[in-house]
Amino acid sequence: MKARVYVMLKTGVLDPQGEAVRHALGSLGFDGVNAVRQGKVIELDLAEGTTEETVRSMCEKLLANTVIESYRIEVL
């Protein structure tokens, strides 16, 4: 089983990396970029029979800081 976990900062949490990317894009001449939010994608290659609930537990315990980040699981 394969799973992909998307982790993003929650709405309202300052994203300094996203702001740096937005500024850099403007410096390169890409006008009209009003905001950038940066996150991460984690791909997991799991043993058969691993449940989505197990992946959720991984997210809660390690893969995402649930105080400031949200996550979404995609089973592939």
Overall domain count for the chain: 1
Tell me the CATH number at 7.
3.30.1280.10
The pLDDT of residue 7: 98
* Token digits of residue 15: 């994203």
- Evaluate whether 45 touches 2 at the Cβ level (below 8 Å): yes
Buried residues in 12-41 as b, exposed as e (16+ CB within 10 A): eeebeebeebbeeeeeeeeeeeeeeeebee
**pLDDT level of residue 75 (50, 70, 90 thresholds):** very high
| E strands in 2-68 | 2-9, 39-45
For residue 29, the enclosing domain spans 2-75
Q: Report pLDDT digits (tens) over 39-66.
A: 999 999 999 999 999 999 999 999 999 9
Chain segment 4-46, per-residue pLDDT in tens: 999 999 999 999 999 999 999 999 999 999 999 999 999 999 9
Q: What is the DSSP letter of 64?
A: -
